[in-house]
Structure 1
């Protein structure tokens, strides 16, 4: 792993690890944030969640966030962990920065700024999710292997055609 990945992955994962640990230790604060935006989510079609379910959802989200964050930070399945964190980032960004739910202009600017920061982190996670560390994609490797097999088969056919002995018709008739 090169220096950039060694530094960038833990830096990208750190907020998710810290927030996940906080959600596991103190789920009530996170559940309260969720309950503030719950009426708007219900209007959008999300099923209602009881307070106890919100705390359980917070804990599960925190555990997933910690596990995926540690995986990304340590380089264990980094593409999968980055994908999980990118997907998890969307609802967290909406719950933590409810631009539509705040009323004062200053709070709206702060929520919008937080939403844009979350979008930037999500974009970084998306880039990390598609980073193959210089290795070719599975589709390229599949096509390359197919082309190599075809080239080997063509070369073998050419060698056989050039070096197989040609049996003259008289010799074949005489050998019978």
Structure 2
């Protein structure tokens, strides 16, 4: 892992680990945030099963957040962990920054700022999810191997044609 990755991965993961621990230890505060935006989420089509036991959902989300955050920070399955965190970041961003539900210009400005900040973190996680650390993808490796084999076969055929005795007529 290069120097930049060794700094950025733990930095991207830290808020998720801290927030996940808080959700596990003190889920009530997180549930209250969810309950504030629940009516808007229901109007948007949120399945009722998700809010039937918000405290359990909060604890599960916290545990997933901690585990994926630690995985990303330590470099264990970093692409998978980044993808999990990027996916988890979407509902967390909507619950923590309900721009549509706040009243007052200053509160709306703060919620919008939080929304943009969370979107930036999500974009960083998406980039981490596709980062191959300079290694090509498996599809590219397979296609390259096929092209190299074809080029070798063609070169061998040319060498054979050049050095084989000409067929006498």
TM-score with structure 1 length normalisation? 0.88
- 2:10 alignment counterpart: 10
Contact 2:50 2:57 in 1 (8 A): no
In the TM superposition, 1:104-119 aligns within 5 A as 104-119=104-119
| Residues 80-119 of structure 1 deviation map (CA, whole Å, 9 limit, x = unaligned) | 1111111110100000011111112221111111111101
C-alpha distance in 1, partners of 2:66/2:98?
23
In the TM superposition, 1:133-152 aligns within 5 A as 133-152=133-152
Q: What are structure 1's unaligned runs of at least 5 residues?
A: 170-176
Contact 1:38 1:48 in 2 (8 A): no
Deviates more, 1:73-82 or 1:158-167: 158-167
Change (3 A) 1:28 1:8: same
Structure 1 position 91 matched with structure 2 position 113: no
In the TM superposition, 1:24-173 aligns within 5 A as 24-49=24-49, 53-164=53-164
Contact 1:31 1:51 in 2 (8 A): no
| C-alpha displacement of 1:158 | 2.6
Paired residues in the alignment total 169
- Residue 123 of structure 2 aligns to a residue whose secondary structure is helix
| C-alpha displacement of 1:59 | 1.0
| C-alpha displacement of 1:160 | 3.3
Contact 2:33 2:95 in 1 (8 A): yes
Larger radius of gyration: 1
C-alpha distance in 2, partners of 1:49/1:30?
17
| C-alpha displacement of 1:156 | 2.5
